[in-house]
Structure 1
């Protein structure tokens, strides 16, 4: 422990980051900026080659910072998991998706742990950052790591520190967001706190890895439940002829007791659609019902269906049916100004619209081609079309799904026969018209 603590203080400790995606790669760059040498590990050889060449693999990432880190030798990427014996601290940033039955899929964590244990040596710190149910670090990760003969707290140190990455957030970067840290014992917690204290502005130590795991789930459940509430209010207020966006804007003027959340066409991203169900699954072990969380999930999963119905009704009023209609979808990333397609509601919307007989094309300046996905693999390879006046006039409706900056919403409203806006993008731009419908 003393040797590792000294290396962390001197920033001579080498860090290993497993999983060079939206969480791991920004973390690796932040560690380099803090003065640590970093080895990044990923099973995708093409991604590793592009990172080592200094090529951008994430649109919002600091590409110049990446190139500088590679050029100076402070960062390199590898597919060779045998090199996991080299880092003094190993940070696990691998996916934790759901199965088709909406149960936790820890296969990436288990496979990563199996790779680590083959190279694990005394004195290393292992930190799990992947979001998961409370107890995973000690009940799943620890036994696999200890199967090699070394003991947590005696030979190596084990901790959990949940990622709090918010892609595209210019106000709160990784280094400015406090880092929650829980350890398998006080020594592991202190080492992890020392490590992250060198990278971020503030650390928040908690009493156990399970508490740290629960913190992350609580944050995302809070968002999921409140988004479900405002989505339900949207449905209610639409039926009453009340603009939910105007209601939210006015309610936001209250300086206490209220926090604005906004409705949308469905949930997207790597956290909100997935993480709450890690707790509902674990709660069943204790014979505890999570009705509130599960109801929120039902409301949020229903929103793409609601958007399709609203669009169908708007077309009906104009003498068109959804079957045979040409739909131009504007924006398909899950979040504005990003290329991130993880769990994007646009994919579900395309599938629903085409199941109803519509023809769907899309325009997204950040997503030139739809990447493969587990749930919607048949859509992979489709390409973005230009947002021209001709393309807009040729469609029966333009459906705004993601409100990217830089989109010419005035042109959409001027040329499309019908504009269905799920994000209030037109109104925020000061635009209105008889062909505009809020979905």
Structure 2
């Protein structure tokens, strides 16, 4: 079978993209270095929250095929790189996965192909990192092959917006490259938004998530002083968001998690420091505030137990929800990890319950999973709502608990509940 496009990296970004393309008749080759992922997909088994086994089976029926054989990349017209870019130890992006993917593409690059990078990174990556590797074989970007950047905007678990109806930002190395990339996405995405170039497209993604990062930090800091002043911040937000213009509601929490908010703004901050020699102060302050929220939650937990004449050391603390957002199994950068570790460092016995996670080891072996939720809530000295999954009846759980600390503003009717 011949293929029209290859999606390189079949995770939370690449697989939904492949699904939408397959729906309109684009023959998609999925490439991944993980043989287990490839075998599961070809057998109709999904490994991401947003696609069911039936969804993957329908893709296979439509002609989708996954492989670890990079030789097949030479046979497609469009190649889209969707590999992760985690943070490196120095605070910048770890481009290891991107570099590996680009090297693989370069080995098989053919004249007339279009290469699109979707992996989130710092401005200039497409031109300064990707292009030289692809051109090393003698072909020229914008002449012999097209090169573009189109930031991924996948929001796992979002039931309203997916790959099809989320506008697709596209920036080409030149106009012809932008045209080619826009034509590819235009087959299955409702709206394509063009930028002047790759750097603008790269920076647009970072601006989106930096905006959220900073505003989350704002309400996290407000949560602290509102508590000290006896002000119900959750009520404040509900009142403020009735304004039909000029305000968007953000909510405090035990920390930020996921594949974007804790990571992407740091790419921009790193880029500013490394290239311009001065700090991006808003981002760095926001990172400082958000990163200290787990410690703040631990301090509040200790105070709640003190009110019951209990010490944190020796108390049983039950964490409800350990994923980074509700109703999905994704645990990337979940604030539950530093929260659990800091509780254990202070001598607490930490347990967890999560309907989406059967085996949680991210915080170490000292955290015990519980299967009987009601019994665990009744027995724990303190129950902390970390992630509000829809299967939780928060008010009932709060009422059944000895003490309940709600970091998501979901409990309303119990005197035993204290909100962040």
Q: Which SS does the other structure have where 1:341 is aligned? A: coil
1:211 pairs, out of 181, 200, 204, with 200
1:328 aligns with 2:318: yes
1:432 aligns with 2:417: no
1:379, distance to aligned residue in structure 2 (A): 5.1
Alignment of 1:336-375 (within 5 A): 336-370=326-360
Aligned length in residues:
418
CA distance in 1, matches of 2:9, 2:365: 25
Which residue does the alignment assign to 2:301?
Answer: 311
Quote the Cα distance in structure 1 between the aligned partners of 2:52 and 2:302.
42
Question: Aligned to 1:104, what secondary structure does the other structure show?
Answer: coil
Q: Any unmatched runs of 5+ in structure 1?
A: 1-11
The Cα of 1:62 is off from its aligned counterpart by 4.0
Q: Distance in 2 between matches of 1:423 and 1:161?
A: 33
**Equivalent position SS for 2:293:** helix
Does the CA-based 8 Å contact 1:13-1:87 persist in structure 2? yes
Q: How does 1:69-88 map to 2 (within 5 A)?
A: 69-72=59-62, 74-88=63-77
Contact kept, 8 Å, 2:149 with 2:201, in 1: the verdict is yes
Q: CA RMSD in A?
A: 1.5
2:145 paired with 1:166: no
Change (3 A) 1:371 1:326: closer
Unaligned regions of 5+ residues in structure 2, if any?
A: none
The one-character-per-residue Cα deviations of 1:148-188 (angstroms, maximum 9, x if unpaired) are 22211122111000011111111112101111100111110
Query: How far did residue 408 of structure 1 move?
Result: 2.6
Q: Assess if the C-alpha contact under 8 Å between 1:13 and 1:89 holds in 2.
A: no
Task: Determine if the alignment matches structure 1 residue 422 to structure 2 residue 403.
Answer: no
User: Match of 1:7?
Assistant: none
Cα contact 1:334–1:343 (8 A) shared by 2? yes
Deviation string 1:368-415 (CA, Å, 9 cap, x unpaired) is 11266xxx5x359x6742243322222111110000001132442232
For residues 112-191 of structure 1, what are the structure 2 equivalents within 5 Å?
112-191=101-180
Deviation at 1:241, TM superposition (A): 0.7
Q: Residues 367 and 384 of structure 1 are in contact (CA less than 8 Å); yes or no, is this contact kept in structure 2?
A: no
Separation in 2, partners of 1:85, 1:169:
34
TM-fit CA distance, 1:326: 0.8
TM-score for the superposition, normalised by structure 2: 0.96
Q: Distance in 2 between matches of 1:39 and 1:256?
A: 45
The counterpart of 1:391, out of the listed 376, 379, 389, is 376
**Whole-angstrom CA distance in 1 between matches of 2:374 and 2:55:** 39
User: What's the counterpart of residue 104 of structure 1?
Assistant: 93
Q: Is the 8 A contact 2:124 2:198 kept in 1?
A: yes
Q: Show the counterpart of 2:183.
A: 194
SS in 2 for 1:114: helix
Look up the SS of the partner of 2:12 in the other structure.
Answer: coil
The whole-number CA distance in structure 2 between the counterparts of 1:167 and 1:388 is 26
Question: SS where residue 60 of structure 2 aligns?
Answer: helix
Q: Distance in 2 between matches of 1:127 and 1:415?
A: 53
Q: Which residue of 2 aligns with 1:5?
A: none
Is the Cα contact below 8 Å between 2:118 and 2:149 reproduced in 1?
A: yes
- Given that 1:369 and 1:383 are in contact with CA atoms closer than 8 Å, whether structure 2 keeps it comes out as no
For 2:105 and 2:221, the matched residues in 1 are separated by 45
1:289 is the counterpart of 2:279: yes
Q: Where in structure 1 do 4 or more consecutive aligned residues deviate above 3 Å? A: none
Corresponding residue number in structure 1 for 2:256 = 267
> Per-residue displacement from partner, 1:292-334 (whole Å, max 9, x unpaired)?
1110111111111110100011001111111111111100110
CA distance in 2, matches of 1:432, 1:383: 26
TM-superposed deviation, 1:13 = 6.2
Q: Distance in 2 between matches of 1:438 and 1:15?
A: 49
Once the 2 structures are TM-superposed, how far is the Cα of residue 244 of structure 1 from its aligned partner?
0.6
Name the structure 2 match of 1:4.
Answer: none
Paired residues of 1:337 and 1:405 also in contact (CA < 8 A): yes
Q: Structure 1: how far apart are the matches of 2:76 and 2:414?
A: 57
Q: Which stretch shifts more, 48-57 or 58-67?
A: 58-67
Q: Are the equivalent residues in 1 in contact too, given 2:353–2:373 (CA < 8 A)?
A: no
